[in-house]
Amino acid sequence: MKVRGKDGLYNFIVSACAIACMWLVWVIAWAAADDGYVIPSFWDTFSKMFSLFASARFWQAFGMTLARTAISWAVSLAAAAAAAWACAASAKLRRFFAPFVAVFRTVPTMAITLMLLIWSSPRVAPSIVAFLMVFPAAYAQFMAALDGIDGGLVQMAKVYRVPLYKRLFKIYVPQALPPVLSQLGPDFSLTLKVIVSAEVMCSTFNSLGGLIYQSNVFLDTAQMFALTICTLAVGGLCEWALSKLVLLTKKWRGEERGAQNDSI
């Protein structure tokens, strides 16, 4: 327990130092530019941020972007999980599905966003773009987790005619779930990043991306920085919270047993 506490304190200090370095780079860039329109000062940005927090329009935009992100993230993960499970069960289906995943992975984000603006609306286009970006990454993660299952253990279970539900909850889930849970946070951050970027390009009304686009039109760089920092903070907090889901798999990964042995 003492070692874990020291590790947690060390990680916190390292993260704090990284944040301080980024803030120092910001201050140096602001001093070098010597122009608040190009790079706003630290105080101007955070005063603008607090004024945004007092605005109902900001919270409406924030809620719409967060809801759009959560829905796109959940749909992408569900579709990737279903596709990975089907492809893991059938090698032919996996080969057939591979070109589609490759196309989704390499399609240019800006090009598909502009095309979706013609075929759909500014409210729907960001969600479709997020799905096309997140689905291939999530699919690859699910496939890697399924491919990492011990094949010898699976074959032995089949030889001894272990029931399917026991194989599912004693072999497949314990081995595949930990790496999947570890990627939920990064996938959510990626979804939020793509959603906000697509909202900026689409000038989506009542969204964080739409507010960033309006700030750019009116050359309000302090508000642009404030909205960007809000997006980074939300993405970081959500990623940190989702990363804690891995703790649910401690028993499967044998960490509790290892901790007991260390204490002995």
Each residue of 173-185: pLDDT tens digit? 778 888 888 899 9
Select from 214, 209, 225, 213 the least CA-distant residue to 47.
225
CA pair distance 28, 10, nearest whole angstrom: 27
Q: What is the pLDDT of residue 36?
A: 60
Q: What is the pLDDT of residue 259?
A: 44
CA pair distance 84, 27, nearest whole angstrom: 46
CB count in 10 Å sphere of residue 171: 17
Q: What is the pLDDT of residue 263?
A: 42
CA pair distance 144, 18, nearest whole angstrom: 31
Integer angstrom CA distances of residue 175 from 84, 151, 187, 189, 254: 15, 11, 20, 24, 11
CB-based contacts of 241, cutoff 8 Å, min separation 6: 185
Q: What is the pLDDT of residue 4?
A: 55
Q: What is the pLDDT of residue 160?
A: 74
Select from 109, 138, 134 the least CA-distant residue to 199.
109
CA pair distance 259, 264, nearest whole angstrom: 9
Structure pTM? 0.85
Q: E strands along 101-241, which residues?
A: none
Contact 166, 179 (CB under 8 A): no
Tell me if residue 39 falls in helix, strand or coil. coil
Amino acid residing at 12: F
CA pair distance 229, 224, nearest whole angstrom: 9
Low-confidence ranges of the chain (pLDDT < 70): 1-8, 35-37, 250-264
Query: Based on the number of CB atoms within 10 Å of its own CB, is 104 exposed (0-12), middle (13-18) or buried (19 or more)?
Result: middle
CA pair distance 56, 51, nearest whole angstrom: 10
In degrees, rounded to 5, the angle at the alpha carbon of residue 33 between the alpha carbons of residues 30 and 36 is 65
Q: What is the pLDDT of residue 261?
A: 43
Contacts 24+ apart (CB under 8 A), 232-236: 234/62, 234/66, 234/192, 235/188, 235/189, 235/192, 235/193, 236/189
